[in-house]
Amino acid sequence: MDTAKRVLHHKTTLAGFEWVDETDRREMIMNGNKLSLDSLSIAAAAGMAAAVQHLIDNVLHGLTPYLIPRVTPVDQRRVDPQTHPYYSFLSDTSNPYVDFRDTLLRYLVQCNKLGRFHNGAFQWDKPSCHEFLEQCDVFKEMLYPLLHIQSGAVDRTTEAGTLTWCDDGWRSGSLKWAHGMVVLLSSYNKTNALTREDRPIARFHS
């Protein structure tokens, strides 16, 4: 990663590269620097391990992220989103996810991580809530580069603003399941003002 930054920040021309092995193509020389796909895989695995540990320690506060059974979810979505407004496979009662919808919130409240009960009423602690949201942002900052490595560039801000977790009655939701992976399908095109057409962009996350 440091090598990639040096190449990026100290060169104003297009990077020149050559493969070390034309058959295997797992190593290349770029502007005199040797880059290895194996090293990138090791770095990505270490980054994912650190992100998961941060998730468990600072977001879930010890709650295991593996509570939900790993099953192939049912997706009863139709082509026309108007036939299933507000549908998502996450809220489909045929799948196990509905039962875990409030699990994290209940756990954090029970552990007094977001506030405390006083005289029978729960009182939110704003600093604790802000700290929780900040830790969520840190987790996203750790996760986004890994998503970039795995499935290409992350969404632009304007593109991310079009994502929906369920159908909204006139267009299909962005969160889908296909080929054993979660898919974020956005419909976005920078030239929409000219073409009046959006372009579907799928990002697969294993």
Tell me whether residue 53 is in a domain: yes
Tell me whether residue 74 is in a domain: no
- The whole-number average pLDDT for the span 139-146 is 87
Tell me whether residue 101 is in a domain: no
- The whole-number average pLDDT for the span 58-85 is 80
Tell me whether residue 11 is in a domain: yes
Per-residue pLDDT at 57: 95
Cα gap 113→60, rounded to integer Å = 10
Q: Given pLDDT bands bounded at 50, 70 and 90, which one contains residue 85?
A: confident
Per-residue pLDDT at 131: 96
Range of the domain at 38: 1-66
Please, where are the H alpha helices in 152-178? 157-160
Tell me whether residue 144 is in a domain: no
Tell me whether residue 23 is in a domain: yes
Q: Given pLDDT bands bounded at 50, 70 and 90, which one contains residue 138?
A: very high
Give the chain's mean pLDDT.
Answer: 81
Domain count within the chain:
1
pTM > 0.75: no
Tell me whether residue 14 is in a domain: yes
